[in-house]
Chain A
Amino acid sequence: DTEVTQTPKHLVMGMTNKKSLKCEQHMGHRAMYWYKQKAKKPPELMFVYSYEKLSINESVPSRFSPECPNSSLLNLHLHALQPEDSALYLCASSLLQGGTYNEQFFGPGTRLTVL
């Protein structure tokens, strides 16, 4: 298995809802990432998990809460989002060997719309 999967593909939520995005990979990668991408812009890094521990948080608002329950799964919990949080949310993973980060592989993304 050489792919990163993300569910759901599309999500519409109100500002008072709580929802979660899910990312899964079975490539044995020990680094996993969340990115946010607005239309016609490059991806912006949100979080990095290394060996299931949060290693980078790019000053993301607390209404986004990441979780890495095991080495194959990465979740992003959403609560009290704003319309400007509407974007494509991308998950990625990479091999992490001896502290060395390698090639990143991306999932297809979740298209989030906040009403």
Chain B
Amino acid sequence: KQEVTQIPAALSVPEGENLVLNCSFTDSAIYNLQWFRQDPGKGLTSLLLIQSSQREQTSGRLNASLDKSSGRSTLYIAASQPGDSATYLCAVTFTNAGKSTFGDGTTLTVKP
């Protein structure tokens, strides 16, 4: 069974700290991996998409890496801000059929 795991489930950091969120998946033959953030009661906002052939993607203070051989992706957030507080979800697409498997998410709290 293809599974996606995110650890830790919750993370609290002081403002300004750099942090890393983790996403692990059981099958290295992935098609792509996408990171989202979700604010309470809202829809998902796409942060970064990494294709299977890529090692990393960057957008502003965010950097996502992909290591298929170890079945891991990390989302690095630099100089965290209270506005970064949200739940971060990774979604792995294992085949090119439009179906993504989501991890349970990491809820991030950045304290002023």
Shortest A79–chain B CB gap in Å is 25
Bound complex: CA of A111 vs CA of B41, how far in Å?
8
Chain A, interface size category, equals: 20 to 34
Residues of chain A contacted by B49 (CB below 8 angstroms): 102-103
Q: Which single residue of chain B is at the shortest CB-CB distance from A109?
A: B43
User: Counting CB contacts under 8 A, is B93 at the interface?
Assistant: yes
Number of A-B contacts (CB under 8 A): 59
User: Counting CB contacts under 8 A, is A105 at the interface?
Assistant: yes
Given A42-B89, A42-B104, CB of A101 within 8 Å of CB of B44: no
Contacting residue for B45 out of A6, A45, A102, A106, CB 8 A: A106
User: Counting CB contacts under 8 A, is A88 at the interface?
Assistant: yes
Tell me the interface secondary structure of chain A in the complex: strand
How does the 8 Å CB contact mask read for A85-115 relative to B, with 1 for contact and 0 for none?
Answer: 0001010101010011111111111010000
Chain B, interface size category, equals: 20 to 34
Q: Are A90 and B43 in contact (CB under 8 A)?
A: yes
Bound complex: CA of A33 vs CA of B97, how far in Å?
12
Given A41-B104, A104-B91, CB of A31 within 8 Å of CB of B42: no
Given A42-B89, A104-B34, A104-B91, CB of A55 within 8 Å of CB of B97: yes
